[in-house]
Amino acid sequence: EVQLLESGGGLVQPGGSLRVSCAASSFTFSRYAMSWVRQAPGKGLEWVSAISGTGGRTYYADSVRGRFTTSRDNSKNMLYLQMNRVSADDTAVYYCAKDRDHEFWSGYRPFDYWGLGTLVTVSS
Amino acid sequence: QSALTQPPSASGSPGQSVTMSCTRTNDDVDDYGYVSWYQQHPGKAPKLIIFEISKRPSGVPDRFSGSKSGNTASLTISGLQAEDEAHYHCSSYGGSSTVVFGGGTKLTVL
């Protein structure tokens, strides 16, 4: 069974940095684009970023572009989200999600597996 | 950029059918053909239940169905069960290689 397990969340001060990770297992990780999706407390889902299977291309929501960086290590089946210059608006549960079909990211295809998420709280 | 609007709540009694909507607004994207729906129980990860407007992944009961008319996509759950009580999120292509989600609908089974 496909498993995605996020880690690295916690409390970070406004303006600070944090890196969250996602460990993937039971599928050929490099063959699928991956995304980060977040959910602020009591709010809906918000797509944050995506990365192609090779890691060669990345995509970002306007709300995080220039502050967040998504990367992956296919040798370790790991996905990362480096978060810089965070603000209270970045407080959310961060989920990693697997593209259903393809290594190339398009934005058209659904996410067929999600992790349980890791909570990031931005507060002084 | 496109946005998706969902009613904040819906309800139905066991055995009944309920339909939830997802309306695309600020539409500067021609393609609304790739709508997905996700079910999310409290404290759990979202689960894909409908993709490409009306397709069901393997293992999703046929009580769940999707459709679209114009700029509004709909999720219908027939034969409501207590376990269907959850939040339901729609998503679609948001333009420029992005994804947009609706605000989610909380379904209460009375």
Q: Which of residues 69-88 of A touch B (CB under 8 A)?
A: none
Q: What is the mean pLDDT of each run of 10 residues along chain B (110 residues)?
A: 88 96 76 86 94 95 94 95 97 91 96
The stretches of A15-95 forming alpha helices (DSSP H) are none
**Which of A 49-68 lie inside 8 A of B, CB atoms?**
50, 59, 61-62
Alpha carbon separation from A37 to A20, B38, B105 (Å, rounded): 12, 13, 18
CB atoms within 10 A of CB B79: 12
- CA–CA–CA angle B3, B74, B57 (5° rounding): 100
What is the per-residue pLDDT across A33-88, written as a single tens digit (0 to 9) for each?
999 999 999 899 999 999 999 999 999 999 999 999 999 999 999 999 999 999 99
- Suggest the residue from A111, A113, A118, A119 to mutate for an interface test with chain B (most B CBs closer than 10 A): A111
